[in-house]
């Protein structure tokens, strides 16, 4: 599977904005039995999401079912190296998902208890946020 990218965006460049507070949506395990929940507010880029997905898939050896609950909609711009201040905003370089504390990022089902916990632990290492593994019954 390729890196996640939006097919179309309303605006090519967007402002940074704030990423504060706790998640009010996407904060429960909805599809699977186990979930990987964020404990911090952070921007997670499409490469990190893909790396975490691969870690889960490789560990469960293509068994079970995986849901990715976050999607990188927000473009991030960067100016080239050695460019003076001014002369506008840079070009979009990559896309990020703005993740709040309490957001369920990945869900997993149809695997054993130990497999799910280990797969999600490995995925958590690929992400820039502190994470916690939760079971469906906890919510």
- Tell me: the pLDDT tens digits for 20-66? 999 999 999 999 999 999 999 999 999 999 999 999 999 999 789 99
99 found inside a domain: yes
Specify the number of domains making up the chain. Answer: 1
Q: What's the domain range around 46?
A: 34-74+91-138
Distance CA 115, CA 119 (A): 6
Tokens describing residue 22: 């706790």
41 found inside a domain: yes
The CATH number covering residue 130 comes to 3.90.1170.10
Tokens describing residue 100: 């709040």
Q: Give this prediction's pTM.
A: 0.91
| Dihedral pair phi/psi, residue 104, rounded to 5° | -80, 120
109 found inside a domain: yes
133 found inside a domain: yes
């Amino acid at each position: 599977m390729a890196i996640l990218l939006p097919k179309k965006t309303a605006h090519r460049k967007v402002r940074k904005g704030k990423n504060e507070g706790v998640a009010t949506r996407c904060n429960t395990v909805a599809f699977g039995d186990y979930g990987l929940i964020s404990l911090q507010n952070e921007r997670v880029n499409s490469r990190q999401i893909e790396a975490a997905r691969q870690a889960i898939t490789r560990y469960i050896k293509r068994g079970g079912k995986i849901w990715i609950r976050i999607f990188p909609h927000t473009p991030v711009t960067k100016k080239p190296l050695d460019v003076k201040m001014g002369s506008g905003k840079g070009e979009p370089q990559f896309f990020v998902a703005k993740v709040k504390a309490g957001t369920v990022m990945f869900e997993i089902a149809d695997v054993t208890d130990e497999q799910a916990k280990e797969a999600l632990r490995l995925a958590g290492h690929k992400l820039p946020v502190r994470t916690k593994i939760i079971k469906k019954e906890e919510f």
